[in-house]
Structure 1
Amino acid sequence: MVATRFEIISRKPIGDDSAYKDIGEYEFITGRLYYSVDPKHPDSQLITDIDLIPTNNEGRVEFSSDIQLLKPVSMKSDSNLFFDVVNRGNRTVLAFNNAEQRVSNEDPHLGNGFLMKKGTVVVFCGWQTDVPDGRIRLHVPEALDKNGEQLIGQTYQQFDLGEDSYELLLSDRQHNPLPTANLNDENATLIERDWPDGPITNIPRNEWSFARWADGEEVRDANFICLPKGFKSGKVYEIIYNTVGAPVIGLGFLAMRDCSSFFRYATEEQGNPCAGNITKAYAFGASQSGRFVREFAYLGLNLDEDNRIVYDGLLPHTGSSRLGEFNMRFGQPSSNHMRNVGNVKALAYVETHDPISNIKDSLLWRLESKNAMPKIIATNSDVEYWWSGASLAHTDATGSFDVNPPENVRVYLFSGTKHGAGSLPLTKTPAPEALRQKHFSNTIDYRPLQRAAYDNLDKWVRDGIEPPVSQYPRIDDKTAVTRESLMESFERVPKIGFLKALPVRQRLSYGDNVDEGIHTYPAVEGEPFGTLVSAIDDDCNEISGVRLPDLQVPLGTHTGWALRHADIGGEGHFMPLQGSVIPFPRTETEKEQDGDPRDSIEKRYPSKDDYLTKIRASAESLASEKYILSEDIEGIVNGAGERWEAIQSQ
């Protein structure tokens, strides 16, 4: 057993079990799980720099994870384990419960108890080393050179600003920074662009420094860069410099493997509070964590060191066709821009050949070679198609023909949605950062689709009941089109408009040592991949994918892209992760005044009751096809009623 010890720090009852009386009371356990892995095991050899870690007396590598665990006090003997690949140290899977988001050092909110009603054991495990204090973290050793010294080498950062500043922390999302190895590094370069793929303006080295800005002066600091003339909102900045210190971040993949293996297979004597009661295990990751799940599959790590299956099913959400900076020297796992190392390969679920780079590859080839394939339900929002090339998971690299997923994989586009589940109120400032978009933020709540996906995955694994067919844009039926081809349709609606520049997913080369996890910057940029999105109808709503009632019975146009507002600079450019809703004219008079070619709401629906009747019929149809659960129909109808009122009163 690779996980050698589970140290319980706290244990207490949690939640109100009135919604899941058949299961009984839940408890919340926090602790730390300790690992000891064989660095010479073939799977361990996939981890960058594992041979540069000092080992214990038995020649093994030691590390540990923060753990949080939700489980029934009295477990049933045939329980599911649901592993949450926490996002930047934050819990995510409780969104399935419609739970309120709480910081990780507070007790979780259990929401409507959806997962608890099934007696699910939910595990939150640290896999990322650089998250801020108070979050769920991975604790790993550093790689050292032959003299026992810290490693020094190139790294790269990109900053897409939503507000002015004189200083920037050398990290993504205010995580622990990658410090400069030399405050006076003359080879460090800083550039500015007007948008992520715009022309480069070099900022002379004597105009900026590794420093903080304090009381109008530069104070030297290895963790910051300072520009006395100011970093400007709406601009994009990129820096290449030498950093020092290389935690072996790829050990996070072994934590994902060995944590679930421990709770699934370890005995009570070995300290497992779930001993003997876990028969199936699933993993979920969203966004960054969805890419992590994809890379876990790519590395083929679904067998533990004792050759036992770890996960029966995977649910990568909004992972696009990408990987991440998860297994490299000097990587930043939170990084999410299009020059991220994880964008080098466009990986479909079966082998494809890229005629331009002459690369043949598949996301699942290692799992297939080991006979360790889980069932997979992969879901994406519309953002992943417009921004990062999610279509490349089911087309060739040039976007010329469809590549059908294998029988054990389902792929769903959540049509017309933004990166995260939408909600009211209607707002143009949906993000916690100082960001503002031109249109209202997309309001489609796709969580009912996620609950059904989990339920379908469990029935697929346990009972062999196949989920509904994949739903995504296809080339063969002309529902997959280029983004450029839709510009005219969007621009014919004066209220909508179109992006000034489209995001580019391009082929990137980082030198000859990439397979060793070592990258050379700047990347050599090649041709863009052939990315496609869904075709749209006359209302500019998408016609492919799983279309929730918001699209089948619409009150507006819903997009997976948003335009930056003039107030934050970069007006009209793409705002990552966000989407928009542009309501229809409420009346024929308003339609005429706005010059809007879309039908008005009053023409479409004689009354609110008529609208809600159609919403209910749409939801019932989706439930009959198993894309949503019947228990979610009322919530969908109620939510539609709230959106009706919000749009009518805007």
Structure 2
Amino acid sequence: MQKAKGERQIGRRSWPSRAAMAVGIAASINLVLWGCSSNDELQPQIPLARSPIVAPDLTTACPIRNSGIKTLITKGTGLAFNGASFGSVGTYTYYLAEATATLSVSDHCAAMIVDAPNAGDASGTVTYKFDVVILTPTDPSKASGTLLYEVNNRTNTPSFAALNDASGQNLFDNTQPVIPAAASGAVAGVGAGNGFLMRRGMTLVWSGWQGDRPQTLTAANAAITASQKWYPPGMTLPIAKDPITKGSVTGLVQDEFIADNASSNLLGTYYQRLANSPASLTVRKTPLAAPITVDASLWTYTAGNGTAEGGNTTTNGFGFVTINRAALRADSKYAAALDAGSDNGAIYHFNYTAVDPRPFGLGFLGIRDLISYLKNETKDSAGNANPIAGRTKTTLATGISQSGRVIRDFLWQGLNTDANLRQVFDGVLTLVGGSRKTYTNYRWAKPGDYSRQQETHFVPGDQFPFGFGVITDPISGKTDGILNKCQQTNHCPKVFQYDSPIEFGGARASLISTDGMGKDVPVPENVRLFYATGTSHGPQQLANNALSQPDYSVDRTVAATAVSASPGALNASTALYRALLVNLESWVKGTASPLASVLVRALFLQ
């Protein structure tokens, strides 16, 4: 058995060159046909969706052509990190902006965004808005030409924090980390941290993509200050209407609460409950256990005003349920849902009729159209200047956990081809996403949820395809891959994916390189997969570890309520993240060869 190209372990050879050449030729033909077509006859036939809540089953690329950024209005700009300078690059400038984007419902491929065709106005235009935050060298000549887009994680910036050994959500402070030789004196990085990204001259971009996170840049003016160090990027989406009656859309929704401590008793809903509609609360011990209906006297529902994020448990959310857990534990009819009389870990489900879904899949389209605009355009339709026009030659995307899953989903949805049939991202670096995608492009979506052994167990996002290459799934019989659609348009980025040991137990990471029967599958030539033992789900910073564990010869204590009896790993891994990003950027620019994959393989002898 020979070693596959680009891998450090024994496995099957990667895709044959003739197959890759055939894919490239087919992709070129498709692009010519799409580019020359002025009607729908050359577009793929889109089947009816199996249900209004999911996208049509289409494995053929279907680029949306009639969408884009209408306006990008800057609300505030100034020197970032309190005017700190970063080596030869100098200072950085921030831009706080609000983007308005549109999609024509008549676009042949608009139906690939669930509920988008049902959210248009009288002119057939879907309009949505989202926040945009940009960091770029103050001196344009110091910009490296690389734009790094971080998919924010529930509006947070863990990638920026890890790569700079700093804190997230902070564009004001500038404290470098200190790791002394002694057991004391460590200093955690804050704000800019070690300045790694800024010293490289990269332009950094964040934007609102998660449709249940409210905007923060809607006011006329905004600024980064000592008291306002970050603006969590949010999004405002239109409401979908019934395509025939144009009235409100309703549907059954189930929201979940797990009692992980003795006092919590609030279950936040992700959608507005239809007024005066029936609802029920159930409790069960495990996801597969039979639910027990909770008596209505043991819970109350409070409606909210819908100005906060989905699942919020205050009156600013969409609504919340207050559960009388003490009375439930005291009632013997709920004993089957309890563990030795305790409901810690029990699963509560609130079942209700929700109203007014929104097309959450527009979050993907917004990312696509924003990056395309920033790279290729000089001004918007209203004449507002692109703040970084002419600075971008290379586009990269990165994200940790949920954000890494978003990038995988973005590629699978076929959105790395823009409205003008150009490639969006040249390279992507996904961290600790495993084989998963997201619960985003669905009706009644919950982008923040994901399937776990006990919690939100049946949430979509863990279904085939899992790996980047196109294979036939031995379980479902479907043929697909994360890169299937971008291969058809010849717009696949170079891909690095890194996973820790956590993802093999909690995110099915083995399915990236093996199939449903446990056999190795080919890894495409443009993909590298990395696995490092002893690392944690979130990259650990050395200075932070030195503060939390000054003396490694002393065992750390673990709380009785912790998820594990052993302490978490404290192997610093942010240097690994930086090394992968540098190598990916160099690979994309053609100045270095990619690192070889380091991954777990099955080694089936043929």
Fold conserved (TM > 0.5)?
A: yes
8 Å contact 2:256–2:267 — kept in the other structure? no
Rate the CA distance shift 1:116–1:106 in 2: closer, same or farther, 3 A.
closer
1:99-118 map, 5 Å? 99-102=166-169, 109-118=191-200
Shift of 1:436: 6.0
1:191 corresponding residue in structure 2: 283
1:309 corresponding residue in structure 2: 423
> Could you list the per-position Cα deviations for residues 33-68 of structure 1 after superposition, in whole angstroms to 9, with x for gaps in the alignment?
1112233334433100111012364x3221111011
Give the distance between the partners of 1:185 and 1:345, measured in 2 at CA.
35
Aligned partner of 2:262: which letter?
A: D
> Could you list the per-position Cα deviations for residues 261-289 of structure 1 after superposition, in whole angstroms to 9, with x for gaps in the alignment?
11111115542011111101011121111
Whether 2:599 is the aligned partner of 1:472: answer yes
Shift of 1:152: 0.8
2:106 corresponding residue in structure 1: 40
Task: Work out which of the residue numbers 68, 86, 104 in structure 2 matches 1:2.
Answer: 68
8 Å contact 2:283–2:346 — kept in the other structure? no
8 Å contact 1:47–1:327 — kept in the other structure? yes
1:66 corresponding residue in structure 2: 131
Shift of 1:206: 3.4
8 Å contact 2:74–2:95 — kept in the other structure? yes
Aligned partner of 2:203: which letter?
A: V
1:270-349 map, 5 Å? 270-338=384-452, 339-349=458-468
Shift of 1:225: 2.2
Whether 2:582 is the aligned partner of 1:455: answer yes
Aligned partner of 1:229: which letter?
A: R
Give the distance between the partners of 2:434 and 2:502, measured in 1 at CA.
9
Task: Work out which of the residue numbers 125, 137, 150 in structure 1 matches 2:234.
Answer: 137
> Could you list the per-position Cα deviations for residues 487-507 of structure 1 after superposition, in whole angstroms to 9, with x for gaps in the alignment?
xxxxxxxxxxxxxxxxxxxxx
Task: Work out which of the residue numbers 357, 360, 369 in structure 1 matches 2:488.
Answer: 369
Aligned partner of 1:451: which letter?
A: R
8 Å contact 1:429–1:441 — kept in the other structure? no
Give the distance between the partners of 2:96 and 2:497, measured in 1 at CA.
30
SS at match of 1:342: coil
Aligned partner of 2:284: which letter?
A: E
8 Å contact 1:167–1:212 — kept in the other structure? no
Whether 2:569 is the aligned partner of 1:446: answer no
8 Å contact 1:411–1:470 — kept in the other structure? yes
Give the distance between the partners of 2:423 and 2:201, measured in 1 at CA.
21
2:119 corresponding residue in structure 1: 53
Rate the CA distance shift 1:78–1:307 in 2: closer, same or farther, 3 A.
farther
1:205-220 map, 5 Å? 205-206=295-296, 208-211=298-301
Aligned partner of 1:398: which letter?
A: M
1:171-250 map, 5 Å? 171=269, 177-181=270-274, 185=278, 188=280, 190-193=282-285, 195=286, 197=287, 199-206=289-296, 208-211=298-301, 223-230=319-326, 232-250=343-361
Shift of 1:212: 5.2
SS at match of 1:248: coil
SS at match of 1:283: strand
8 Å contact 1:167–1:211 — kept in the other structure? no
1:155 corresponding residue in structure 2: 253
8 Å contact 1:211–1:222 — kept in the other structure? no
Rate the CA distance shift 1:17–1:204 in 2: closer, same or farther, 3 A.
closer
Give the distance between the partners of 1:117 and 1:311, measured in 2 at CA.
22
Rate the CA distance shift 1:106–1:209 in 2: closer, same or farther, 3 A.
farther
Aligned partner of 2:573: which letter?
A: Y
Aligned partner of 1:224: which letter?
A: F
1:592 corresponding residue in structure 2: none
1:396-415 map, 5 Å? 396-399=515-518, 401-415=519-533
SS at match of 1:341: coil
1:78-93 map, 5 Å? 79-93=145-159
1:542 corresponding residue in structure 2: none
Whether 2:188 is the aligned partner of 1:96: answer no
- Larger CA deviation: 436-445 vs 403-412: 436-445
1:169 corresponding residue in structure 2: 267
Give the distance between the partners of 1:415 and 1:40, measured in 2 at CA.
50
Give the distance between the partners of 1:106 and 1:40, measured in 2 at CA.
47
Shift of 1:90: 1.5
SS at match of 2:372: helix
2:331 corresponding residue in structure 1: none
Give the distance between the partners of 2:531 and 2:351, measured in 1 at CA.
36
> Could you list the per-position Cα deviations for residues 338-388 of structure 1 after superposition, in whole angstroms to 9, with x for gaps in the alignment?
321112324211122233322222111110011111101011121111112
1:27 corresponding residue in structure 2: 93
Give the distance between the partners of 1:75 and 1:477, measured in 2 at CA.
53
Give the distance between the partners of 2:415 and 2:439, measured in 1 at CA.
17
SS at match of 2:528: strand
Give the distance between the partners of 2:485 and 2:109, measured in 1 at CA.
10
The share of aligned pairs that are identical, in percent, is 26
Rate the CA distance shift 1:105–1:303 in 2: closer, same or farther, 3 A.
farther
> Could you list the per-position Cα deviations for residues 260-318 of structure 1 after superposition, in whole angstroms to 9, with x for gaps in the alignment?
11111111554201111110101112111111110100011112111122110111211
1:443-592 map, 5 Å? 443-463=570-590, 465-476=592-603
- Larger CA deviation: 113-122 vs 90-99: 90-99
2:469 corresponding residue in structure 1: 350
8 Å contact 2:214–2:236 — kept in the other structure? no
8 Å contact 2:85–2:91 — kept in the other structure? no
The runs of 5 or more residues in structure 2 that have no matched partner are: 1-66, 175-189, 217-231, 304-314, 329-342, 453-457, 550-555
Aligned partner of 2:237: which letter?
A: V
Shift of 1:179: 3.1
Aligned partner of 2:360: which letter?
A: I
Task: Work out which of the residue numbers 497, 503, 506 in structure 2 matches 1:378.
Answer: 497
Shift of 1:327: 0.5
SS at match of 2:325: strand
1:255 corresponding residue in structure 2: 366
8 Å contact 2:145–2:394 — kept in the other structure? yes
SS at match of 1:366: helix
Shift of 1:414: 2.7
2:229 corresponding residue in structure 1: none
Shift of 1:29: 1.3
SS at match of 2:510: helix
8 Å contact 1:210–1:226 — kept in the other structure? yes
Give the distance between the partners of 2:70 and 2:481, measured in 1 at CA.
34
1:384-395 map, 5 Å? 384-395=503-514
Give the distance between the partners of 1:460 and 1:289, measured in 2 at CA.
22
> Could you list the per-position Cα deviations for residues 201-222 of structure 1 after superposition, in whole angstroms to 9, with x for gaps in the alignment?
4233535445259xxxxx9x97
Rate the CA distance shift 1:43–1:70 in 2: closer, same or farther, 3 A.
farther
Shift of 1:109: 1.4
8 Å contact 2:470–2:479 — kept in the other structure? yes
> Could you list the per-position Cα deviations for residues 197-246 of structure 1 after superposition, in whole angstroms to 9, with x for gaps in the alignment?
46344233535445259xxxxx9x97222332348333233344321121
SS at match of 2:387: coil
- Larger CA deviation: 66-75 vs 221-230: 221-230
SS at match of 1:93: helix
8 Å contact 2:155–2:208 — kept in the other structure? yes
The runs of 5 or more residues in structure 1 that have no matched partner are: 172-176, 214-218, 479-650
SS at match of 1:261: helix
Give the distance between the partners of 1:409 and 1:380, measured in 2 at CA.
14
Aligned partner of 2:435: which letter?
A: S
Rate the CA distance shift 1:183–1:346 in 2: closer, same or farther, 3 A.
farther
Aligned partner of 2:490: which letter?
A: N
